[in-house]
Structure 1
Amino acid sequence: MNSSDFLRFLKARSSVRSYSGEPLDPEEIDYILACASTAPSAGNREAWDVVVVTDEDIRIDLALAALEQEHIREAPAVFVVCANYIRSMSHYGERGILYALQDAAIACTYMMLAAHARGLHSCWTGAFNENAVRELLQLPEHVRPVALLAAGRGTPPLRPVGRMPVEEHTHREIW
C-alpha cells in the first residue's frame, strides 16, 4: 500500500451507528485483537486490556450505561477497551496513569482501523457511565474503561463527514 492508498483508506472509514446484528466470526474478532496487539505502547508495557462483549443481554446493559446509545446494543460485538494502570505504574509511577490511557486509546484506534480493513464498521463511544460499565463487567480496581468500540456490519453514512482543514489544527515550532 502506498501513501495515497493509505490516506484513501483512512478517509473511507467513518463511525457507523446502525448495524445489521449479523454476528462477527470468531476469526474477525481475533483479527481485530491481533491488530490491537501490534499497537505501540509506552515502554512496551501494553497497559491496556479488552473485554469482548457479544452477549446480547450484556450489550443491552452496556447500551444503558452508554446513555442509551442504541448502536451499542445493535452491534454484534462491543470491545470495551480499558487502561490497565498497574502495568504502566509499576514502571513509571503516577505518570503511568497517563501512559495507560494513551496505550488504550492507541490500541482502540488500531482495532477501529482493523475492523475497517476487514470491511466491517465501527463506532468509538466515549460517553458512558464509567462506574456502571465497571460494575457490569466486574473490572478490577486498577482497570479503567476508556472506550466502547461497537463493531459489525453496518450502514455507513451516505455522505462523508466534513473535517476541519489540517491547518486549523497545526502549529509550527510554537503555538
Structure 2
Amino acid sequence: MSVKEAMETRRSIRKYAQEPIPREDIEEMLRLASLAPSAWNIQPWRFIVVMDPEKKRELHLAANRHPQVKSAPVVIILTSDMEDAIAHIEECIHPDMPEEGKQWLKETIPKVFGAQSAEQRGQWGVAQSNIVLGYLLIAIRSLGYDSSPMYGYNPERIRQLFDLPSHVQIPAIIAIGKRAEEGHSHHRHPLHRIVRYV
C-alpha cells in the first residue's frame, strides 16, 4: 500500500492472528526502516528479532506481561548501541564522499562523542533510534502487517536475556503480526492545536 494508506490505516494492535511471518517480509520491513536518516549517518540502531516461543515467553515477563508480546508471532527489540557505532564509524561514511570529508568525520565524530559520558552518548542514540522506529511502524503496515510499539518493560532484564552490554539502550519493543482485532480509530489533535505558522 502507499505511504499515505499505511499511515492512515496503522493501528496499535494487541491481538494477533496466529500466522507466521515469512523471513523475507521481516527482512524487507527492516530494510525499509534502515533507510531512516540519522545525524552524521551514524545509524546506532540494532534489531533483535524474537520468534522463538521460549524467548518470547521470557520477554513477555520482562515486558510487564504486555499481552501483545505473547500474541504476536514476531517481536522486535529495537536497541541503540552508540559504542559499537562509534567503534566502527568508517562503516557509516559514504564511499563517494571526498577524502577530506571522510578524514574530517573520522576525526570529528570520536572527538565530539569522546567528550561525553556513555550515558550521554546513549541518550543521543535513543533520540536517533526513535526516527527508525517511526519508519519501521510504517514499513510494517505498508507490507500488510500490524504492530504495537511498547515502552513498559524492564531494560536490565532484557539485557540479561539477550546478552546485551550495559551501555546498550532499548528505545522500544514492537509486536508484529496480522491483526485479530480492529483496534481503535485514530484520535489525534486537529492541526490548529499543534501547528503554529510564523
Same fold (TM over 0.5): yes
State the distance in 1 between where 2:125 and 2:139 align: 21
Quote how far apart the aligned CAs of 1:155 are: 2.6
Q: Distance in 2 between matches of 1:8 and 1:118?
A: 11
* Range moving further from structure 2, 118-127 or 131-140: 131-140
2:12 equivalent in structure 1:
15
Larger displacement relative to structure 2 (153-162 or 86-95): 86-95
Distance 1:122 1:158 in 2: 11
Name 1:62's counterpart in structure 2: 59
Indicate the SS of the match to 2:76.
strand
Q: Which residue of 1 aligns with 2:146?
A: 121
Deviates more, 1:84-93 or 1:25-34: 84-93
- When residues 108 and 52 of structure 1 are mapped into structure 2, their CA distance, relative to the original with a 3 A threshold, is same
2:60 equivalent to 1:35:
no
Query: What corresponds to 1:96 in structure 2?
Result: 121
Deviation (angstroms), 1:138: 1.0
Aligned-partner SS, 1:161 = coil
Match of 1:53 among 46, 50, 55: 50
The correspondence for 2:171, drawn from 132, 146, 166, is: 146
The higher-RCO structure (CA 8 Å, 6+ apart) is 2
**Alpha-carbon contact 2:11-2:184 (below 8 Å) kept:** no
Unaligned 5+ segments in structure 2 are 87-108
Q: Is 2:68 aligned against 1:83?
A: no
Question: Equivalents in 1 of 2:24, 2:50: separation in Å?
Answer: 15
From 94, 105, 112, the counterpart of 2:137: 112
Question: Could you report, residue by residue, the CA deviation over 1:90-124 in whole angstroms, capped at 9, with x for unpaired residues?
Answer: 46423533331122211122111111000000000
Give the root-mean-square deviation of aligned CA atoms.
2.0
1:72-100 alpha-carbon deviations (Å, 9 max, x no partner): 11111111001112125846423533331
Q: 1:159 to 1:133 in 2, by over 3 A?
A: closer
2:56 maps to amino acid: R
Cα offset for 1:24?
0.6
- The alignment covers a number of residue pairs equal to 170
Deviations, residues 16-59 of structure 1 (Å, cap 9, x unaligned): 11111211101111101101210101110001111111011111
